Structure 1
Amino acid sequence: MRLRRAHLGAARRRLAPRAAALRSRLMLRVFLPLRSGRTARLRYAAVLDGHTVNLHAELPGSVRLPDSADLVLGSGRQRYESTARVYEDPDGRVLMDAVVLLGAEVGGAPVDAGRRRLRLRLTTGRRTRLLPLLLVELPVPYEGPTKPMTASGVTGRRHRIGRSVTGSARVVTADARPGAEVVKVHITHAGVAVDFRVLGTRIDEPRAEFLASGRRIQQSVTAREDGITRVEVPLQGMTPRRTRPEHWDVVVCGASGSRLRLGRRLHDVRNPLRVFAVRGTVIAPPGHRPLLVQPRYTSAGNLRITCTPMPEIG
């Protein structure tokens, strides 16, 4: 059964580029000419910071400036509206700018997994008109030290701009991937405390494990009402047994056997190891040599705490 599923998955991946190319040709040669005078054509469409949709479109030449305009996300009872700006540029073209937040947690549209149409409603007097938003070209990822946010930093849900076979723009939302997202790391003379959030899953009877080469420290966790969970570990237990540094990873475990590595993944930087660097702190645990304690993030975004014994003086 697993082998059959693997073959089916591989076949779908091979066919996906061909299907996408066929849909693109069908849209450009058939639907775009038919709909060009009845739709607003998007010149820019992107999801910024993981949950903010930014849109810029050119309206058909037959449209005049309305009294008001609204962006409509979804349809029927599952519809969310936000104000859009429609204006005329120096060349006489009627343009539209709109921004909509995704997620009730950020004060925006209450969305869950699924696809939702984007349309523009124009109101002049008692007359209203709904214009579909036509997306001819899909957003292209850009290069640089930052990258597009693939998920909301608040909810972990993944949002992207997609389109139907006829070219109509829509917002595609997927549930958050299971993960334990670090909120803050605290270093004191007594130990290390890590605040984190669990997203995309539920962990029953959670506990944390600090893991180094051949060593394991199990710690209980404390959940707060704001959804933040804290784990603390005393530095005495993390003192290296040898003179070389020891690297500790942190894992959240559940009664069912689930395990999640603590890390930072809901961000837009390409190199978390460099950008999220934390200065080391020298701590002197009671009865032990001073330690250089340095939290950092690996290239994969996993939290790693390095404890280095300080050299003796004299």
Structure 2
Amino acid sequence: MTSTPHPPLTARLQMLALNRLRSPVRAARAARRRAARMAEPLHRSVARLDGVTNRFRARSEHLSVLDGQTLNLAAVLPGHERAAGAHLEFTSGRERVAALARVVPGPDGRDRVEATVRLRLGRAAEEGSAADGGTDDRGGTAPGEVRLAPGRWDLRLVAVYPERTARVALALPDGAPPDAPPHDGEPPPRTSPAGPLPACPQTRARFGIVRAPSGAAAITVAAPQPTAEVDAVLLRPYRAQITGELLDLPDIHALTADVALRGGGAAHRVRPTLDPGSRGIAFTVDLPVAEMAAVAGGELRWELRFHTPTHGTLRAGRADTDLHRAGAVLRVPARTVRPESGPPALVRPYYTDSGTLCIALTPLPPGA
């Protein structure tokens, strides 16, 4: 017959075991507090250093990438010395690309530099990478063009004075908006301090203004990613189709597609019709409305997916949209579809805030 431990002894043993479990947690919390206290002076020093170095940088009045491909710059050079000329310099490692800029005298006696540069994806050594600029039909200055490889490029203004040449970094404009928060449980749209990043209409690359580790302005170049871009959702009385193009997908061998429930669950294989397209491989998919309606009695949400052996799964949608709330803007009217086999169904396509196409489908009673 075993004896029961005395209650006070049991309580002490429990407290001892609990303290042993809490000790690593307390030690970790204490270490984090000490690290935070040690980091505070460093953060203040970096902030002071950034404020000091900004005195020797060109102050950006405007710095943005418009329409996904045009860099617009207006900055004030430090000091009151008059520059004979200036150009904008892009530097990444040992690569260096230049674009002409205009020097305009400012009202405060400082020179103001303005530049409009067309950005292209490519190697800096390719022909035409230097942006010389030109004159447009209206007598204004046409934007030059530079080719930038993927990666981060530091931005500098090179000012030419009568007796010297000065390279100065660019300070980011004040009041840059923060990155957009996630929407609808999906990754946020690709953004920069200047706002959402639209894709370049020519190459689908993305150019964004960012803050370099030094605190100065830089530009990031992201190569286009394979995507299944939807052109249209066609809802007809007896069928539902999705048309679009597979972009930047070099290999379509072993490509498969299905319509799957969002979040996991049932999936129905579909056979897309593939043809050469204007920008990539055009696809047409007939949705299996009857099979989708047979899964459950209420509304279910589906998405069209393409599976590739080299680039994983591509979800059909509008990946290149630059809208913050794509779901509120890209609207497709709902319609009742009556397939040849099975009951009718209400098909309500919509886009999520990140641009993914969803098909909300609700089975209807026969004869509805």
Q: 1:117 to 1:158 in 2, by over 3 A?
A: closer
Q: 1:55 to 1:288 in 2, by over 3 A?
A: same
Measure the CA separation in 2 of the matches of 1:77 and 1:62.
Answer: 31
Partner of 2:148 in structure 1? 111
TM-score, normalization by structure 2: 0.62
1:24 maps to which of 47, 50, 74: 47
Question: How far has the Cα of 1:127 moved from its partner?
Answer: 8.0
Question: How far has the Cα of 1:104 moved from its partner?
Answer: 3.5
The residue type paired with residue 169 of structure 2 is L
Measure the CA separation in 1 of the matches of 2:244 and 2:172.
Answer: 43
Q: 1:138 to 1:175 in 2, by over 3 A?
A: farther
* Pair 1:141-2:177 in alignment: yes
Q: 1:153 to 1:203 in 2, by over 3 A?
A: farther
Partner of 1:267 in structure 2? 321
Measure the CA separation in 2 of the matches of 1:110 and 1:200.
Answer: 22
What count of residue pairs does the alignment treat as equivalent? 291
Q: 1:54 to 1:186 in 2, by over 3 A?
A: same
Partner of 2:132 in structure 1? none
Question: How far has the Cα of 1:57 moved from its partner?
Answer: 0.7
Partner of 1:3 in structure 2? none
Partner of 1:6 in structure 2? none
Q: 1:295 to 1:179 in 2, by over 3 A?
A: farther
* Pair 1:209-2:268 in alignment: no
Higher RCO structure, 1 or 2 (CA under 8 Å, sep 6+): 1
* Pair 1:85-2:102 in alignment: yes
- Aligned-pair identity (%): 24
SS at match of 1:194: strand
Aligned CA RMSD, in angstroms, stands at 4.2
* Pair 1:276-2:330 in alignment: yes
Partner of 2:58 in structure 1? 40
SS at match of 2:220: strand
CA contact 1:45–1:139 (8 Å) conserved in 2: no
CA contact 1:118–1:133 (8 Å) conserved in 2: yes
Structure whose CA Rg is larger: 2
Alignment of 1:71-220 (within 5 A): 71-74=88-91, 78-104=95-121, 108-122=145-159, 129-135=165-171, 140-141=176-177, 148-150=195-197, 152=199, 154=201, 155-157=204-206, 159-163=208-212, 165=214, 167-176=215-224, 180-189=227-236, 190-198=239-247, 205-212=254-261, 214-220=266-272
* Pair 1:249-2:303 in alignment: yes
Question: How far has the Cα of 1:303 moved from its partner?
Answer: 1.3
SS at match of 2:148: coil
The residue type paired with residue 47 of structure 2 is S
Q: 1:143 to 1:77 in 2, by over 3 A?
A: closer
**Which structure 1 segments of 5+ residues have no match?**
1-10
Question: How far has the Cα of 1:223 moved from its partner?
Answer: 5.4
CA contact 1:208–1:253 (8 Å) conserved in 2: yes
CA contact 1:222–1:229 (8 Å) conserved in 2: yes
Measure the CA separation in 2 of the matches of 1:52 and 1:143.
Answer: 21
Measure the CA separation in 2 of the matches of 1:298 and 1:275.
Answer: 10
Question: How far has the Cα of 1:58 moved from its partner?
Answer: 0.7
Q: 1:223 to 1:82 in 2, by over 3 A?
A: farther
SS at match of 2:271: strand
Alignment of 1:47-62 (within 5 A): 47-62=65-80
Measure the CA separation in 1 of the matches of 2:156 and 2:311.
Answer: 45
**Which structure 2 segments of 5+ residues have no match?**
1-31, 123-143, 181-188
Measure the CA separation in 1 of the matches of 2:242 and 2:289.
Answer: 14
